[in-house]
Amino acid sequence: MSTQSTVLEKFGNRFSFKLSKKSKLAFGYLCLMSLPFLATFSLDMADKTTYATLLTTVNVLAMMAFYLQFPLVSRLKTFSLFANIDWNVSHHKNIGKWLGLIFLLHPVLIIAPRFMVSFNDGMHSLISIITAPQMLTGIIAWVGMIIWILTAIFKDKLKVSYETWRFSHMLGLVAIMILATLHITSVGSHGQFQEKFNIIWWALCIASVTMVLYNYFIKPRILKSRPFKLIDVAQVSSTDWQVTIEKNDASGFDFEAGQFVWLNTNKSSGGVKEHPFSIASCQGDLPKVSFIIRNLGDYTSKLDMLNIGQNVYVDGPYGSINLAESAKSKAIVLIAGGAGIAPMLSLLRGLAEKNDPRPIRLIYGNNHSDQMVLQDEIKALEKTMPNFKQQMVCNEATNQDDIYQGVIDKDIIEKVINTEATHDWTVYLCGPKPMITGLNKSLKSLKIPKAHIHFEQLSF
């Protein structure tokens, strides 16, 4: 257990409340974010107006949140605060939108009071700010930030590949962060009030750049030193592949059922040409690791072009879904939509390995019946596991009695669970974002406690 969670737990026990995992992360994040702000109390800012102090507070907090955007996406699994990739990515996105707004308003909030004095005074200040040479870094960072946030919000509408977008997003934000640091350390209030304060900003800037350099230059070398081998690519449904790789004995790679990795099948172990996929096998299958991958686009449609025996670079494992979360539950439901079957299969195989006697139900949905993968294995588990049943759900009408026609919804979950004691069940779900959002609402209405619902989305 990490030091951070132990401290939080003690705090929680003392004041008799229990923090959920996500609340702990949010609390830890907010504590970290407020550190430079707390450091401002050591500065002599007595001659500042209330409005200027308010602006300083917002700017200092926003700037720290900007630096924290880097560890949020740096896959720092050894730091418990930054190890939950799903939480990190969703907060990285939301915080990014807030930062865009704060950056946008930053000059407006500074100049607005001058316009309130008089229009001429406001215009004079505006012109002198725009034309001052020392403001150039700030102006470029401001324009750059707004453009970069907009390209992130509308990335699906841009006609560029995900990889191109991801690389330019990283490069642009590193440049904006350096320019913003130059700006705050040269014209920001803290540069004026006390130069020593700037050491904090430069240390944060260097730490952020170091994380990027580690991910793009050092980590690829580490991954290259422990390549996996591709041993099989097989089509397992009309739209899905099963890809199997084998770990190098010296790699020390291990994982828990339900986790995911970034796979890179290129010649180079670095760059942005890597894709996240959930592991479908269980620990007992090691050294082999398998994936169920849906043919969806540029990369996933050409998996049969890979060469058996070639190197595959694996970054991971990551992800917080695991069987320990349901250790105390009386029963388990696994809900999979499309390619979401991969981590559910991993959990199911893990449960089968232990011959788990609890009621275990798999609800597996697809648009078409020919998209259901590995049915021989799943049906065999219905016979060999003590209490396991699968319910297939299909959008398209079929003549198979064992398939429920429609989408995975509250009705089918209720039918499958068929019990009053819903609080005893743990639910794992994986699939596309709209399915996860919809099912979270259904599970809530079925009175399954939030803490018993664990999910993985197939997109960031």
175 to 145, 303, 382: CA distances (angstroms): 10, 35, 55
The residues, any chain, with a CB within 8 Å of residue 105's CB and separated by 6 or more, are: none
What residues between 239 and 258 interact with ligand FAD by CB under 6 A?
Answer: none
From the CB of residue 375, how many other CB atoms can be counted at a distance below 10 Å? 14
How many residues are listed for the chain in this entry? 460
- Going residue by residue from 129 to 158, which x/- string records binding to ligand FAD, judged by CB under 6 A? ---------------------------x--
Q: Which residue's CB atom is positioned nearest to ligand FAD?
A: 297
Report the residue number, 33 or 374, with the smaller CB distance to ligand FAD. 374
The amino acid that residue 359 corresponds to is P
Report the residue number, 184 or 345, with the smaller CB distance to ligand FAD. 345
Residue 460 Cβ vs ligand FAD, minimum distance, rounded to whole Å: 5
Among 65, 245, 314, 342, binds ligand FAD (CB under 6 A): 342
Report the residue number, 67 or 428, with the smaller CB distance to ligand FAD. 428
Q: Hey, what long-range contacts does 220-223 have (CB within 8 A, 24 or more apart)?
A: 220/268, 220/269, 220/270, 220/271, 220/313, 221/269, 223/264, 223/269, 223/313, 223/314, 223/315
State the residue for tokens 């388990």. 332
360 to 388, 440, 443: CA distances (angstroms): 5, 19, 17
Residue 73 Cβ vs ligand FAD, minimum distance, rounded to whole Å: 11
**458 sits near ligand FAD (criterion: CB under 6 A):** yes
Q: Among 392, 305, 377, 376, which residue's Cα sits nearest to residue 346? A: 377
Residue 11 Cβ vs ligand FAD, minimum distance, rounded to whole Å: 31
Q: Among 405, 421, 439, 251, which residue's Cα sits nearest to residue 331? A: 421
* Structure-token pair, residue 410: 């509250």
Residue 223 Cβ vs ligand FAD, minimum distance, rounded to whole Å: 15
Report the residue number, 81 or 292, with the smaller CB distance to ligand FAD. 292
Among 36, 71, 276, 359, binds ligand FAD (CB under 6 A): 276
What residues between 281 and 340 interact with ligand FAD by CB under 6 A?
Answer: 291-294, 296-300, 339
Q: What is the DSSP letter of 266?
A: S
Residue 259 Cβ vs ligand FAD, minimum distance, rounded to whole Å: 9
Report the residue number, 296 or 421, with the smaller CB distance to ligand FAD. 296
213 to 69, 210, 269, 276, 458: CA distances (angstroms): 15, 5, 14, 21, 27
Secondary structure (3-state) at 364: strand
Report the residue number, 36 or 319, with the smaller CB distance to ligand FAD. 319
Cα angle 73-79-83, degrees, rounded to a multiple of 5:
50
**275 sits near ligand FAD (criterion: CB under 6 A):** yes
State the residue for tokens 């209030």. 189
Residue 378 Cβ vs ligand FAD, minimum distance, rounded to whole Å: 16
**459 sits near ligand FAD (criterion: CB under 6 A):** yes
Q: Among 419, 417, 420, which residue's Cα sits nearest to residue 408? A: 417
**260 sits near ligand FAD (criterion: CB under 6 A):** yes
Report the residue number, 211 or 345, with the smaller CB distance to ligand FAD. 345
Given a contact cutoff of 8 angstroms between Cβ atoms, the answer to whether 249 and 270 are in contact is no
Report the residue number, 167 or 253, with the smaller CB distance to ligand FAD. 167
**278 sits near ligand FAD (criterion: CB under 6 A):** yes
What residues between 157 and 176 interact with ligand FAD by CB under 6 A?
Answer: 162-163
Given a contact cutoff of 8 angstroms between Cβ atoms, the answer to whether 342 and 373 are in contact is no
Cα–Cα distance for residue pair 406/432, rounded to 1 Å: 16
Cα–Cα distance for residue pair 333/363, rounded to 1 Å: 7
Tell me the number of residues near ligand FAD by CB under 6 A. 24
Given a contact cutoff of 8 angstroms between Cβ atoms, the answer to whether 352 and 384 are in contact is yes
**373 sits near ligand FAD (criterion: CB under 6 A):** no
Report the residue number, 62 or 289, with the smaller CB distance to ligand FAD. 289
Judged by CB under 6 A, the stretch of 226-234, 273-281, 378-386, 394-402 that binds ligand FAD is 273-281
Report the residue number, 33 or 243, with the smaller CB distance to ligand FAD. 243
Cα–Cα distance for residue pair 255/247, rounded to 1 Å: 12
Report the residue number, 65 or 245, with the smaller CB distance to ligand FAD. 245
Please name the helix (run of DSSP H) or strand (run of DSSP E) that holds residue 134, with its range, or none: none
What residues between 15 and 74 interact with ligand FAD by CB under 6 A?
Answer: none
**277 sits near ligand FAD (criterion: CB under 6 A):** yes
Cα–Cα distance for residue pair 288/247, rounded to 1 Å: 6
Applying CB under 6 A, the residues found at the interface with ligand FAD are 156, 162-163, 260, 274-278, 291-294, 296-300, 339, 342, 456, 458-460
